[in-house]
Amino acid sequence: MTPDSLLPGHAKSDAQHAREMCVAGRWMYERSFIVACEGNLSVRLADGRILTTPTCMNKGMLSPEDLVITDLEGRQVAGDRKVSSELAMHLLFYRMRPDVNAVCHAHPPTATGFAVAGSALNKALLPEVIVGLGQIPLVQYATPGTPELSAALEPFVPHYDALLLANHGAVTCGTDLLTAFFRMETIEHCAKITLAAELAGEPVLLSGREVAKLMAARPRYYVSPPPGGGAELPMTNEGGESAEDRVTLTRDELDALIDEAVRKDRSRR
């Protein structure tokens, strides 16, 4: 199977989705986004049920018959193997985001290094990442596979397509499996470049003006941001200026301040 067969936009049978999930699992394993039995993938099928990878198996070595189908509440409806405890995280995306049809969870080592260090990938460094994802926030730690992790994720899910999970890994979503997988690749690539930049010197952040231009260019790249809106923009070279730090003056107020400064300066001479 070639990557072309994962192109989005075609109505696919359950069997096609299953074959593609096995390919995406192999890509995740071959790129070292996961090792051993880590990570999981899921897809929303045409009838609304969820196709997903099983627990305790290497996701790079799966066959379609290893996969499991559940309903939106996580009740297993097909497949012989056991469903992953991390499925709850996937179901959260499907319940909150009607636009999402695939979820990808992995532990890519460089990005997970940032997540372990408590660092989001939230700086305005790379145009591709800004256009595609805005930024990649860090979700606070909670035990994997528990309702606490879903609760920590919930405020982020409507607004972002890619998230770091503190001391754990990363999760991405998309309209199809290829898009969700590409977003996982982008996270790891961005983390590697950020790390290299930090080793090479001081990373140079883009300005708010440049970020605004990239955001405005999104339709040109066929990027549709999460329908929830409200995502925070990446940190720019204007520094971590918050709304409280910002002072807005009218033209008259500014003129008055300048006049006063000039008067004081003259009176000192």
Q: Is 92 buried (19+), middle (13-18) or exposed (0-12) by CB count in 10 A?
A: buried
**23/87 with CB nearer Zn ion:** 87
The three-state secondary structure class of 226 is coil
**79/169 with CB nearer Zn ion:** 169
Whole-number minimum distance, CB 40 to Zn ion, in Å?
7
End-to-end CA distance of the chain: 81
Candidates 136, 138, 234, 259; CA nearest to 188 is 136
What is the token pair recorded at 156? 């982020």
**35/223 with CB nearer Zn ion:** 35
Segment 112 to 171, residues that bind Zn ion, using CB under 5 A: 169
Find the catalytic residue in 38, 65, 86, 253: 86
Whole-number minimum distance, CB 73 to Zn ion, in Å?
21
**90/97 with CB nearer Zn ion:** 90
Whole-number minimum distance, CB 72 to Zn ion, in Å?
21
Cα–Cα dist 3/188, whole Å = 19
86 is catalytic: yes
Cα–Cα dist 61/24, whole Å = 11
x/- mask, Zn ion, residues 168-197, rule CB under 5 A, reads: -x----------------------------
Integer CA distances (angstroms), 164 to 41, 161, 174, in order: 16, 11, 16
Whole-number minimum distance, CB 23 to Zn ion, in Å?
21
Q: How many CB atoms lie within 10 A of CB 88?
A: 16
150 within 8 A of 90, measured Cβ to Cβ: no
73 within 8 A of 28, measured Cβ to Cβ: no
Q: Is 67 buried (19+), middle (13-18) or exposed (0-12) by CB count in 10 A?
A: buried
Whole-number minimum distance, CB 17 to Zn ion, in Å?
22
**12/107 with CB nearer Zn ion:** 107
**167/224 with CB nearer Zn ion:** 167
Cα–Cα dist 77/92, whole Å = 18
Partner residues linked to 162 by β-bridges:
172
**Residues labelled as active-site residues:** 86
| Residues within the interface to Zn ion (CB under 5 A) | 169
